[in-house]
Structures are given as C-alpha cells and as structure tokens.
Amino acid sequence: MSEWDALWINGHLATMAPGDAAYGTIEDGAIAVSDDRIAWVGRRADLPGEAAGLAREVHDLGGCWVTPGLIDCHTHLVWGGDRAREFELRLEGASYEELAKAGGGILSTVKATRETPAEALYEAAVPRLQSLMADGVTTVEVKSGYGLDAENEAKQLSVARRQGEAFPVDVVTTFLGAHALPPEFAGNTGGYIDEVVTSMLPQAHARGLVDMVDAFCETIAFSPEETARVFDKARELDLPVKLHADQLSDLNGAALAARYGALSAEHLEWTNDAGIQAMAVAGTVAVLLPGAFYQLRETKLPPIEGFRRAGVPIAIATDCNPGSAPVFSLLLMVNMACILFRLTPEEALAGVTRNAARALGRADRLGTLEAGKQADMAVWRIDRPADLAYRIGFNPLVSRVKSGHVTRVS
C-alpha cells in the first residue's frame, strides 16, 4: 500500500514546533508528504511499516537535517535602479536621514522604479529572489512603496505576484503606499494620505494585488495620525496590517501597530516598554532586521530582553531593499541576529520559520514541520541546527521542497 507520495528517512528533523525539545528536534526522524501537505512526521521507529511500502518515492537523507522552508517575512524585493552612490556618500559621513531629506534615499528609488517598465523590474528582481531561494527560502513577503502612485504601486505588486507564479516560492504582497511622500505631493502630506486611502489602496486591493498593508511611521516619513488613517482604511477593507515602527526614533509606533491588532511591527530599535506590553497583549510579532541595523551602522539595539520577558514572538528578515538593506541572504541574517542582537540560534531559526509564518498571518499552514501543514522544507548537510547560525557565508542547503516538490541544489 503506497499511501504517501514521498517519504524522507535516515536524517534528523528540526520541526520548530513548540514543545520541550530544542528546535522541535526528532533525531532519526521521518517525514511523509501527500500532494502539497505534510502527511506524517515522527520517529522513523514509529513508522507504520517498512519505508519502501509506505510511499511511492523514498528519499534517503544520508544523515542530513530537515527544517521548515525558510520564510523571509519582510522584503522590498522589486525596485528599479540602485543606490551604490548613496552607499559611498554614507561611507563619507552622510546619514540615512540627511540623504532622505535631500531627496535621495527612498525617493531616488521611487524615481528609478517609476521609470522602469514592468518587464525590466521583473528581470531585475529574479536574481534577488533566486538568491533568497538558494538559502532555503520557500515564502517571501514583498512590499510595494517605490511607486507611490496608483499605477506604479500596482506595477510593483503585479511583478511580485508574477514571481510567485513563475518560481517555486509563495509570494505574499504588502501595500506600502505610505512609505515616503512623492515629489508631486511635497508639502502636502495630508493630501497624499487622502490619495492613498481613497484611491491607491482600494484600487490595488480591487485588482487582487494586496495581502497586507504596511506604512513607514517615522519622523522622515508619516506620523502616527497619518499611519492610523491608512490602517483605518485597511480595516475597512478587511486587510491585515503591519508597520515599519520605531526604526530611527520613538514615535510609539509599536503601540500604534498593536492597537490595530497588527500581525507584526518591524525594526523596533526605539520601541519603549509600553509598546512591548501592547504588542504582547495584541499578539503582534516583533520583526527584527539586523541587516538594516548593520548597514546603517545603528547603535541602538531593539529591546530584545523586553520582548523575551513579555513573550512577544520574534521574527528575523532580510528587509532586502536597495538602500538600508542590500541583503540577499536570510542565513546571514540568522547569524547577524545572534551576533548583533544576541538571539540564541534557536530563537533566530524560529524567527525565520515559525514566527515569520505568524508575522504573515500564515501560522496555520507554514513555519513548522507538522502534519497538515504545507510541505515546504529545506534539507541541510549540517551536524546540528545551530550550524545554520554559526557559519558566515557558507550555504549547506542540499535540497528545497516546495509544496511537496523537490528542487535539488547540486
């Protein structure tokens, strides 16, 4: 009786399911898949028969480890142009805020993204996506926010959607119209927010391009009141929200996000105690972005111990974007989360699996190796799960399984 489509044996599982075992470890485990779902997970010794008779295909893991497919829950993957010159200027002493105020920063990417046709944006984003996938990523969140008008926001989101259709990866799209004030609205922030809530967001949503809504609540971007207007509209449209909050200053962004029941608040370097408590009560995930922290040479650490003590789940992401985080490796972020933010390797790995799924509102089907979940897995030639955090610039991925389909890496 070949009951399952495929079965993996002779390796170890870091299921990342909550419980007593570190990493949800099952040594000498077995995992079975039928269609796009995980059908069975457990100790090989507990399989209901001989492996060969249980599945149409049996894969020998040869002692490798299996984790859930990694989830990059915060990226700005689709953009035009680059910001290498800005990188040089920052190395010469200019700050991220100064460049933004002078019309560089995000606005220079807006100009380039508007000028780039959809097809070219798509082609430019392919190697970025492939780089993330090469690290075992099976789900990527992609934000808009470099179009800043109805047509160009939709262009960015459509490119992201098309990537999810063309590659074995789930793409979750986020509308980030309130990312920066476009030049045609200079001096008229209220007018731009009107445009976002009455036209841009409803239009993108009506075209089926929006899974979630985000905003940049910051002194160089939008105030808490302006952010709240965007969130009110999202609520009206029944769309979940998340927030770029407290990155460069403390505007009580985390508490604002929590007040709207946000799935996540992100960056959070300046988050205060009230924000932490509000997030804990609302179940809002803290998405930490060590790549942006590193690239901007930030010195203010997010309040990790406060999040731990309050039981706020912590996720880790690349923030892949051309300015604050030209980061194309989620594994590197796992290492940086440990070194820069002092997460344990287990916390960092939960941050790119279980808690990242939660930050996307998909914890019911992604993020752990448990029966019933989508069969998204990464197979690694490592001796222990902590190896994924320990090495820098070394990729031990052997194969990637997306919705039950195997892609061999070499």
Residues that bind Fe ion (CB under 5 A): 319
CB of 240 to ligand NIG, least distance (A): 18
Q: 117, exposed or middle or buried, with CB in 10 Å at 0-12, 13-18, 19+? A: exposed
Binding mask 213-242 for ligand NIG (x = CB under 6 A): ---x--------------------------
* Two tokens, residue 28: 């000498």
Window contacting ligand NIG (CB under 6 A); options: 33-41, 101-109, 350-358, 373-381 = 101-109
CB of 145 to Fe ion, least distance (A): 8
Cα(10)–Cα(27) distance, rounded to whole angstroms? Answer: 9
> Which of 105, 136, 147, 182 is close enough to bind ligand NIG by CB under 6 A?
105
* Residue among 345 and 351 whose Cβ is closer to Fe ion: 351
Task: Name, in order, each residue with C-beta under 8 angstroms of 87's C-beta and a sequence gap of 6 or more.
Answer: 326
CB of 299 to ligand NIG, least distance (A): 16
Is 385 a binder of ligand NIG (CB under 6 A)? no
8 A C-beta contact, residue 3 and residue 55: yes
* Residue among 39 and 125 whose Cβ is closer to ligand NIG: 125
Q: Which residue is nearest to Fe ion (CB)?
A: 319
CB of 86 to ligand NIG, least distance (A): 9
* Residue among 116 and 324 whose Cβ is closer to ligand NIG: 324
DSSP state at residue 69: P
8 A C-beta contact, residue 395 and residue 134: yes
Window contacting ligand NIG (CB under 6 A); options: 13-21, 49-57, 104-112, 205-213 = 104-112
Is 106 a binder of ligand NIG (CB under 6 A)? yes
Among 9, 72, 21, which Cα is nearest to 46's?
Answer: 9
Is 174 a binder of ligand NIG (CB under 6 A)? no
CB of 25 to ligand NIG, least distance (A): 33
CB of 180 to Fe ion, least distance (A): 12
CB of 296 to ligand NIG, least distance (A): 8
CB of 343 to ligand NIG, least distance (A): 19
* Residue among 195 and 319 whose Cβ is closer to Fe ion: 319
* Cα distances (angstroms) measured from residue 67 to each of 75, 135, 150: 21, 12, 39
* Residue among 253 and 322 whose Cβ is closer to ligand NIG: 322
Cα(195)–Cα(148) distance, rounded to whole angstroms? Answer: 10
* Residue among 279 and 287 whose Cβ is closer to ligand NIG: 287
Among 10, 17, 4, which Cα is nearest to 370's?
Answer: 17
* Residue among 319 and 347 whose Cβ is closer to Fe ion: 319
Between residue 39 and residue 78, which ones bind ligand NIG under the rule CB under 6 A? Answer: 76
Cα(206)–Cα(318) distance, rounded to whole angstroms? Answer: 29
Task: Determine if residue 277 is left, alpha or beta; phi over 0 gives left, psi from -120 to 50 gives alpha, anything else beta.
Answer: alpha
Between residue 302 and residue 321, which ones bind ligand NIG under the rule CB under 6 A? Answer: 319, 321
Cα(193)–Cα(137) distance, rounded to whole angstroms? Answer: 34
Is 323 a binder of ligand NIG (CB under 6 A)? yes
Task: Name, in order, each residue with C-beta under 8 angstroms of 29's C-beta and a sequence gap of 6 or more.
Answer: 11, 12, 13, 41, 42, 43, 44, 66
Window contacting ligand NIG (CB under 6 A); options: 47-55, 105-113, 124-132, 386-394 = 105-113
Task: Name, in order, each residue with C-beta under 8 angstroms of 222's C-beta and a sequence gap of 6 or more.
Answer: 178, 189, 193, 215, 216, 230
Cα(230)–Cα(176) distance, rounded to whole angstroms? Answer: 10
* Cα distances (angstroms) measured from residue 57 to each of 9, 49, 63, 363, 383: 11, 15, 18, 28, 25
Is 396 a binder of ligand NIG (CB under 6 A)? no
Residues at the contact surface with ligand NIG, assessed by CB under 6 A? 76, 105-106, 109, 216, 244, 247, 292, 319, 321-325
